[in-house]
Amino acid sequence: MSLSLRFILPLILALAAIAYSVVPLVDQLTLRWFVRDLDIRAELVANSLQEPLYEQLQTGKPAKTQAYLTRLLQDERLFGLGFCPEGGGALIATKGFPVAIRCDGLERFGDPAARLLESGLGPLHIAVRAVDHEGDALGRLVLVHDMSFIQRRSEETKRYVFYFFIGLGFVVSLITVAIAQLSWRGWIKGMRSLLRGEGLLREPGKEEAAPEFLPIARDLRALIREMETEIRPRDAAQMTWTPETLRAILRGELSGEDVLVVSNREPYIHVHRGDRIEVQRPASGVVTALEPIMRACSGTWIAHGSGDADRDVADRNDRVAVPPEKPSYHIRRVWLTPEEEAGYYYGFANEGLWPLCHIAHVRPTFRTSDWRQYVEVNRKFAQAVFAEAKKPNPIVLVQDYHLALLPRMIRERLPEAIVIAFWHIPWPNPEAFSICPWREEILEGLLGSSIIGFHTQFHCNNFVDTVDRMLEARVDRENFTVSHGGKLTAVKRYPISIDWPPPAELTVRSVDQCRGEVRRRHGLGPEHLLGVGVDRLDYTKGVLERFRAIERLLELEPAWIGRFSFVQIAAPTRTSIGEYQQYEAHVRALATEINERFGRGGYKPIILKIEHHQPQDVYEYYRAADLCFVSSLHDGMNLVAKEFVAARDDDRGVLILSQFTGAARELPEALIVNPYDADQCAAALHMALSMPAVESRDRMRLMRGLVAEFNVYRWAGRMLLDAAGMRRREKVLEKKEEWPKRQA
């Protein structure tokens, strides 16, 4: 005990001395922080008083103005208010205003060090702010804040700091003494064992392991292997996942590479251009995410053949090798009749499920004829899966709301298959989803999957709630699994991402080259600031709200007129649906209206480009822009935000991001906005355009680090690892069920 006290007392005294020396520094920092806060507060008060004060001054009655200022002193921290009219008029001040402050001596308070004034009641903070109206100077407003509260808080802070260090000394001393005592006893015990020849350093052989610990040892070895699978690729690729990582998982964890991706949209579309065939890349987040996965896995992508030249390039098995420049996987095309495409795709999927899940204030439309086509087309895709499966246990990645019935169909024919269904759009709450007349069929189809993935935990919660409400199923909310029809399905969150780093052909041109080329193309000067938006022309993307925010920016900050333009790249989509036709007309009309209102001398605030763009062209605009604005009204993830971040290898550019995207949960360094609030979005645009280079660089570096680590290979790898884990658990359960039979 005496040894412990000899250690504790000096440590406590040393910490007390440190606390005593730190207190003045804390006092100075506290004072500096409060002074800065009072400066900001004074600026806000002065700005809010400009209009009312102008109206008071117009009456020409100083007494009335003084009474108005006196009413404002209800704020306990405002000690006094004074107004010095422009041109040297008499001071208008509240009662008790310090006599030491005169209108002819206000310049000295411009120095931050001279803004504190001592008085008999304690220190006062003096702030002088100019007041004008529509550019005409009215005078200067003097705001005097009482700083006595700072002294009280400073005394409390000193006590808290001192007590904190004393308490810290006790805790550190006790922990150190306890560890020292235990270490001493352990060392003495070890020495005694060694002297007795008990083999302290001998590693026990396998024959010494108790039988009851063997299952635990096996579980530990399996856990170590899983951890090595996670850690190894991170070390090998500088903390990022790579195509090699994905291939290693397929070989090591899933014993093969028979990977089938099934989606409505194909990654490459072949179209006739005169007498030649051209290859196009569709504007699709699903394609952006999955195409790098297929390049890595060398599997087969089953999709609807929608190009007018798709049949011309496909072989007799309806297959074509892609990418055209360096084939690494195949597309298996499924052919649909015009009636099937109208009912399945345009009808049930995009007039029914799409507005239902996005809650974008467009009423969903459900028709029985569309549902029949939806069922038949899902069967067509299932037949293509059966034809392409080389083994009885393929890995099938089913993508999105177009193919909700497919997992159950695959499970019925290939019960050993690993089916991972990923729902790329939001999943609504149970009340909203109950609108769908075939809600039970949709849920049962999805529950044929081994795993159902969503972008956010919120969507996982909504799905589990919907199943619990509408089906006879056992829901395990602790592990997020659903047992239905004797089949267990895991519901998991997998935030989707993009390829990292971007393909070299997308960033081969430097940022400066892209900036110069884009500005020359649109007749803009080299210093002209540029924003960019990249979307399909869909009512859920908030293009109209984006344009209204730009209009509001130019109303509030006219200095940006002629200095800032916004390029909106809008790929046409679902043009046969009436809602989309009307939306395109509204977008064109609003862009024209804003350009006519603010444009002059060839200047256009909004440059609207409603046409398909290849990835190289899109990345050129990403790299040329000063900001990117993503204003989705409701979105699953939105990969445009991550593409913009990936494109900016110069660490420049500002991302403005809707709070209703999944990406907003991953990229908090973006300027997060409510797209329905035009004033807030306009303020974010102004902030982005005037943001210091240091701040924008710091924000961009943080976002690039996250996108680099949580890339698309990690997204796919986590799903595949979880699927492998489910397969192992199923084998264990099968052996467990067989054991009683063997005993019998």
What is the spatial distance between Cα 426 and Cα 664, in angstroms, rounded to a whole number? 14
Helices (H) then strands (E): counts for the chain: 22, 23
pLDDT number for residue 223:
57
Phi, psi angle pair for 334, to nearest 5°: -105, 130
Beta pairing class for 259-262 and 627-630? unpaired
Q: Cα dihedral sign for 370, 371, 375, 378?
A: positive
According to the model, what pLDDT value does residue 290 have? 84
Q: What percent of the chain has pLDDT over 70?
A: 84
3-state SS class at 487? strand
pLDDT bracket for residue 202 (50, 70, 90): very low
Span 460-496, pLDDT tens digits:
999 999 999 999 999 999 989 999 988 899 999 999 9
What are the structural domains of the chain? 2-152 (3.30.450.20), 259-493 (3.40.50.2000), 509-710 (3.40.50.2000)
Per residue in 39-79, pLDDT (tens digit) is: 787 777 777 777 777 777 777 777 777 777 777 766 656 77
DSSP structural state of residue 352? I
Among 147-156, 184-193, 584-593, the least confident range? 184-193
Distance, CA of 167 to CA of 162 (rounded, Å): 9
Q: Give CA angle at 140 (138, 145), nearest 5°.
A: 145
Q: What is the DSSP letter of 391?
A: S
Say how far residue 88 (Cα) sits from the centre of its chain. Answer: 55
Q: How far is the C-alpha of 564 from the C-alpha of 558, rounded, in Å?
A: 10
| Strand pairing report for 78-85 and 136-146 | antiparallel
Cβ proximity of 157 and 26 under 8 Å: yes
The whole-number pLDDT of residue 41 equals 75
d(C-alpha 596, C-alpha 617), whole Å: 27
Span 519-544, pLDDT tens digits: 999 999 999 999 999 999 999 999 99
pLDDT digits (tens, 9 = 90+) for 326-358: 898 999 999 999 999 999 999 999 999 999 999
**Which of 102-106, 275-279, 360-364 is predicted most confidently?**
275-279
Model pTM score: 0.66
Report pLDDT for 264: 94
Instruction: Say if residues 53 and 141 touch (Cβ distance below 8 Å).
Output: yes
Specify burial of residue 401 (Cβ count, 10 A radius: 0-12, 13-18, 19+): buried
